[in-house]
């Protein structure tokens, strides 16, 4: 049974259950399953997850974060710094990897400062979802949209920048209003982690080469080389790579394909007239709340090739309910606090409501 930090991954189990149900009721289609999977997207996701796991395990980002945090003197400044780090990391490392760096860092800070770290973690969760929307490699849904639409790397960033800029400003305002200028009281505590310079070097070089190979449509050929390098030099990275999420993505390809073939789903989605930008946008946000933003992106892309409103919708839809984004789910499981869970939704639903309005206004000006 798949678990995350000792807790059952129900999202994974539900996806597998849907696959099993389809296999039982339509066994004649099982042989077609491999053709339903976007193998190039899976290869890109696999390479990025291996490399970014290596970057995380090198401890470089942890060391940089801790040194920067030590220079901060009050809660409001600390909140701004952690939000900025979360957003920045998520642009390069994907939002779920960034959460696995920044949340443990913040939890460790709770041992050396007396301030409320639960509120900081809530803002960090929103920040990784906001920061990741800017980059084609910031989260799984962007990786899929970028690859599926054959969109140039920097064009993707340029089109997403207005939304990122306004939503990041909104998050800073949230942080400023909700945080207080209370001095931080640090205790002396030795929690230093040495940076693995060799792992950092190999992962950094691999990252840039892999991105370039994707732009040249050669990522599928570079992936085996990267895998063999880590297998030979850093097997620990392969052990820590999130293979569950990669498998989940493959299962979702099959589930979404099978669901889109159902006459009822087809009728509903055709009734929504997803060729209309407004309908696509609000359907994407709503569907992300219901089934999470990654499967929402996969499903809606079957009915519309208009990638900008789709990308806006599924990224904005990552806030709101915790299951809107896998990164949010992972973060709250790491914290394992009912109080933080409730407080998160108080902030995230307000942020979702405001973000949805802002995104719609931006799209209106674009069209």
Query: Are the beta carbons of 363 and 162 closer than 8 angstroms?
Result: no
**Residue 354: per-residue pLDDT:** 96
Where would I find the beta strands (DSSP E) of the chain?
A: 3-4, 7-8
Burial state string for 223-233 with b = 16 or more CB within 10 A and e = fewer than 16: beebeebbeee
Describe the crossing of helices 197-215 and 219-233 by its angle, rounded to 10 degrees.
170
Beta strand pairing status for 3-4 and 7-8?
A: antiparallel
Question: In tens digits, what is the pLDDT along the chain, a chain of 367 residues?
Answer: 344 444 556 667 888 888 999 899 888 888 888 988 878 778 877 888 888 788 878 888 777 766 766 777 777 888 888 899 899 989 987 887 788 778 877 776 765 566 667 788 899 999 999 999 999 988 989 988 998 888 999 999 999 999 999 999 999 998 888 877 666 655 555 556 778 889 999 998 998 888 788 777 787 888 999 999 999 999 999 998 878 878 887 887 888 778 767 766 767 777 778 788 889 999 999 888 887 888 889 889 888 889 999 999 999 998 988 878 878 877 887 676 788 888 899 899 999 999 999 999 999 887 5
**Residue 178: per-residue pLDDT:** 80
**Residue 125: per-residue pLDDT:** 93
DSSP helix/strand/coil, 357: helix
Cβ-based neighbour number of residue 216 at 10 Å: 10
**Residue 159: per-residue pLDDT:** 95
Q: What is the C-alpha separation between 139 and 135, in angstroms, rounded?
A: 8
């Amino acid at each position: 049974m798949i678990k995350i930090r000792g807790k059952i991954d129900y999202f994974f189990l539900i996806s597998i259950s849907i696959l099993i149900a389809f296999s039982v009721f339509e066994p004649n289609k099982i042989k077609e399953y491999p053709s339903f999977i976007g193998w190039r997207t899976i290869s890109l996701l696999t390479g990025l997850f291996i490399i970014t796991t290596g970057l995380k395990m090198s401890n470089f980002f942890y060391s940089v974060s801790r040194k920067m945090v030590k220079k901060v003197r009050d809660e409001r400044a600390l909140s701004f710094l952690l939000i900025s780090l979360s957003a920045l990391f998520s642009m390069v490392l994907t939002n779920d990897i960034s959460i696995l760096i920044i949340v443990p860092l913040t939890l460790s800070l709770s041992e050396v400062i007396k301030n409320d770290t639960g509120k900081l973690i809530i803002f960090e969760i929103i920040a990784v979802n906001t920061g990741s929307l800017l980059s084609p490699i910031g989260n799984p849904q962007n990786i899929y949209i970028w690859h599926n639409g054959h969109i140039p790397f920097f064009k993707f960033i340029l089109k997403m920048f207005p939304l990122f800029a306004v939503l990041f400003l909104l998050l800073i305002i949230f942080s400023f209003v909700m945080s207080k200028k209370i001095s931080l009281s640090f205790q002396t505590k030795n929690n230093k982690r040495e940076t693995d310079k060799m792992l950092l070097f190999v992962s950094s070089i691999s990252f840039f080469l892999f991105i370039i190979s994707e732009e040249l449509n050669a990522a599928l050929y570079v992936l085996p080389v990267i895998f063999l390098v880590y297998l030979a030099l850093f097997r620990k990275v392969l052990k820590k790579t999130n293979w569950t999420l990669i498998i989940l993505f493959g299962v979702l390809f099959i589930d979404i394909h099978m669901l889109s073939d159902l006459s009822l789903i087809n009728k509903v989605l055709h009734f929504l007239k997803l060729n209309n930008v407004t309908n696509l946008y609000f359907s994407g946000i709503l569907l992300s709340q219901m089934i999470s933003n990654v499967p929402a992106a996969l499903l809606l892309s079957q009915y519309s090739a208009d990638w900008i409103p789709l990308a806006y919708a599924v990224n904005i839809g990552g806030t709101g309910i915790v299951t809107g984004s896998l990164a949010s789910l992972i973060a709250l499981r790491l914290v394992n606090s009912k109080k933080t869970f409730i407080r998160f939704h108080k902030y995230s639903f307000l942020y979702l409501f405001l973000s949805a309005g802002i995104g719609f206004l931006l799209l209106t000006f674009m069209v």
